[in-house]
Structure 1
Amino acid sequence: MRIRDALESDAEALADVTGRPADVLVDTIHDRTVRVATDGRDGDEIDGFVAFDVRAGTVHVTDLAGTPPALERLIEEPKRFAKREGMDVEAVVVDGEKRRSDALEDAGFAAAGSGPRFEGRSTTRFRLERDE
C-alpha cells in the first residue's frame, strides 16, 4: 500500500467511495490536505482517503473512508502533521459507522462526546490530545 497526495484526477474515484459528486471532491482536494491510499498494483486503485485541515489550532479530520488497512495507514497522516505542529486532532463520525470509529480508536483517539448532527444523524466527536 502506498500513501500519496490526492490529485484532481482522483476526484471520480473518491466520488465512487463517498457517493458525493466529483466536483465537490475536486473542491475538497483544493481546499484541504488530502491523502489517498493506493493498492500499489498496476492501475493504482484507490483503497481509501483522508482529508484534513487546521482550524482554531486543531487538526480536523474532515473525511475518512476506505478499507480497514487503508484507514489504519491514512489516519497516521493527520496524526503526524498534528504532532509536528504541536496540535490536537479531532474527527467526527456518524454514529454506527463502526469501521471509522474502530480505526480512530485503534489509532489512540477517544470518544469525546456528541458531535454535530450530520444530515439528521447523530455523531460522536473523537479526539487525540497532543500529549498522546
Structure 2
Amino acid sequence: MRIRDALESDAEVLSDVTGRPADVLVDTIHDRTVRVAVDEGDGDRNAGSEDGFDAPAGLDGFVAFDVRARTVHVTDLAGTPPALERLIEEPKRFAKREGMDVEAVVVDGEKRRADALEGAGFVASGSGPHFEGRSTTRFRLERDG
C-alpha cells in the first residue's frame, strides 16, 4: 500500500465511496490536504462495506484534513483497517511538525474509524456535533500525547 496526495482524477472514485457529488470532492481536494491509500497488490486489503467504505479496486482509503484555530481537523476518514492505520498518521505527522493538536469527529457506531483513532492514540473527549441527525463523538490527540 502506498500513500499519496489525492488528485482531481480521484474525485470520481471518492464520490463513489462517499456518496457525495464528484465536484464536491474536487473542491475538497483543492481546499484541504487529502491523501489516498493506493493498493499495490501487497495483499493487505481487507475490503468491506463497514462504515460506508466499500473499497474499489486500487483504492484502500483516504483522509482529508485542514487547520482551524491552531488544531488539525480530520474532516474525512474512510478505508480498510490497514489503510486507516496508515492514513491517520498523515494528520498526526503534520500536527507534530507544526506543534498542534489533532481532532476528529466520528458518527457513533462507526467502530472501524473509532478503533483506528484510538489505536493511533486519540482519546474520546466528549460529544461532537450532530451530522444528519446522528450523534457523534469527538476524538482528540494532544500535541504532548
TM band (smaller chain): over 0.9
CA 1:9–1:48: 2 relative to 1, 3 Å:
farther
Stretches of structure 1 lacking an aligned partner (at least 5 in a row): none
SS in 2 for 1:105: helix
How far does the alpha carbon of each residue in 1:38-83 deviate from its partner, in whole angstroms, 9 at most, with x for none?
0024999xx9990000000000000000100000000000000000
CA 1:42–1:101: 2 relative to 1, 3 Å:
closer
How far does the alpha carbon of each residue in 1:82-129 deviate from its partner, in whole angstroms, 9 at most, with x for none?
000000000000000001000000000000000000011000000000
Q: Equivalents in 1 of 2:119, 2:42: separation in Å?
A: 30
How many angstroms does 1:19 deviate by? 1.2
The two structures have a TM-score, normalised by structure 2, of 0.85
How many angstroms does 1:16 deviate by? 1.3
Of all paired residues, the percent bearing the same amino acid is: 91
Does the 8 Å contact 2:18/2:52 carry over to 1?
A: no
Does the 8 Å contact 1:17/1:66 carry over to 2?
A: no
Structure 2 residue aligned with 1:81, among 89, 94, 100? 94
Report the count of equivalent residues: 130
How many angstroms does 1:17 deviate by? 1.4
Q: Which of 12-21 and 104-113 deviates more?
A: 12-21
Stretches of structure 2 lacking an aligned partner (at least 5 in a row): 45-50, 54-62
Which of structure 1's runs of 4+ aligned residues deviate more than 2 A?
41-44
The two structures have a TM-score, normalised by structure 1, of 0.93
CA 1:86–1:42: 2 relative to 1, 3 Å:
closer
CA 1:42–1:108: 2 relative to 1, 3 Å:
closer
Q: Equivalents in 1 of 2:69, 2:114: separation in Å?
A: 23
CA 1:83–1:123: 2 relative to 1, 3 Å:
same
